[in-house]
Amino acid sequence: MTIINFDHISYNPLLPEVKKAMIEAINKDYHNPSSMHKAGEQSAEVIEKARAAVAQLIHADSPKEIVFTSGGTESVNYAIKGGVMANTEKGTHVVTSNIEHNAVIRSLKRLKSSGLQVTSLPVDENGRVRPKDVADAITDKTILVSIMHSNNETGTIQPIEEIGKITREKKVLFHCDAVDSVGIVPVNVQTLNVDLLSFASNTFYGPTGMGGLYVRRGTRIFPLLDGGVQENNKRAGTENLIGIIGMGKAAELAVQHINTQYDHLLKLKNTLLNKLPDYINEYLINTDLKHSLPHVVSISIKYIEGESVVLMLDEDNFAVSTKSACATGSLRASHVLLSLGLSHADAQGTLVLAFGLENTADDVMKFLSSLKNVVTTLRNMSPLYKNK
């Protein structure tokens, strides 16, 4: 039986053209691009072609501003650790928000032992950082602001452009974790005023374990991976050529199709939101629908546990999630939902739905029927529901 995947934050299947490009690359046996002979030169050309495609996707001035990494997490670690370590003589203070991905939170925590001070800002009732809070939090010791482009559990998009104006004016380095946005919504590093921007290939249906960091020319940053002279001396290590080729092809396709894909995804989400009241009641929508990724919606269903819903929907061959896949091993309630002001009980009853290119309106309708059954069954077993 085919699984209907509504967990597209956690994984996107490779596009057929990406598969084709990667399989061709596997069969071609590209040599190490750093070697001196002509077998190496061909590989170097292929890498630069992919770099140009990625640069175009985020409107970088030059492909040289793109550093390929092993994924969004490495990009974030590189931006934060490399950005902080290279600028400690200027200060030891960083501004971030309470709803960042664990890659940001834990990278900053790692640096606290070296004396870094971190101001973590709350979000408003819609789950958005207030630009004024960022302005107020910046001191003359602030060396970095790190705010995500869109949240990976709610899909809510943050006011990055306005924050970027503030950091530009105050001459503070600005990192934006755009891992869940790049390739899904238009991201332009020029209008956003960011210095560092993290992204991941799988978000736009390229391979996992591949990503990139945009590093604006002139930005002072230390490498996270020291060693050889690859990636313009910014990231040592023999390149994952097959991954780079896959990511480059996925970026090319995203540039071409981002608008039609956006419309398709938004239509699925709107179908779900419009029909949902006909199937279940007593739920909260945690996503700021005015500012959100087209494909993501977070729903807290009262009187039930999200994990039970996920497991029962899994039986019906629907893949959904309760929170970030990166935090699956952890039993704690989502820090993102608690930051939004949800009670622990409501946070535990949360489903994150993230639609994908291969999903159809019919999938959504089937899902709603299945969800209705699951919710009814679980609520019938729930003492909370009976005693409400």
Which positions are catalytic? 326
Options 14, 50, 182, 351; binder of its own copies; rule CB under 8 A: 14
Q: Which of residues 287-316 bind its own copies (CB under 8 A)?
A: 307, 310-311, 313-314
For 306, residues 6+ apart whose C-beta sits below 8 A from its C-beta are 322, 323, 348, 349, 350, 351
Cα gap 355→365, rounded to integer Å: 13
Cα gap 273→185, rounded to integer Å: 20
Piece of 72-80, 256-264, 277-285, 288-296 that binds its own copies (CB under 8 A): 72-80
Q: Which is nearer to its own copies, 23 or 381 (CB)?
A: 23
Provide the β-strand partners of residue 157. 150
Options 50, 57, 77, 269; binder of its own copies; rule CB under 8 A: 77
For 46, residues 6+ apart whose C-beta sits below 8 A from its C-beta are 25, 30, 33, 241, 244, 245
Q: Is the dihedral of CA 180, 182, 187, 190 positive or negative?
A: positive
Distance (Å) of CA 185 to CA 56, 97, 258, 364 = 14, 21, 7, 22
Q: Which of residues 234-263 bind its own copies (CB under 8 A)?
A: 236-243
Residue type, 258: I
Does position 265 interact with its own copies (CB under 8 A)? The reply is: no
Q: Which is nearer to its own copies, 136 or 314 (CB)?
A: 314
- 43 SS3 class: helix
Provide the minimum distance between the beta carbon of 89 and its own copies in the complex, in angstroms, as a whole number.
Answer: 10
Q: Which is nearer to its own copies, 187 or 200 (CB)?
A: 200
Q: Which is nearer to its own copies, 151 or 230 (CB)?
A: 230
Options 97, 271, 324, 339; binder of its own copies; rule CB under 8 A: 324
Residue 85 phi/psi, 5° resolution? -60, -30
Cα gap 301→133, rounded to integer Å: 31
Piece of 159-167, 200-208, 250-258, 272-280 that binds its own copies (CB under 8 A): 200-208
Does position 319 interact with its own copies (CB under 8 A)? The reply is: yes
Q: Which is nearer to its own copies, 10 or 167 (CB)?
A: 10
- 232 SS3 class: helix
Options 76, 84, 134, 336; binder of its own copies; rule CB under 8 A: 76
Does position 176 interact with its own copies (CB under 8 A)? The reply is: no
Options 94, 138, 210, 340; binder of its own copies; rule CB under 8 A: 210
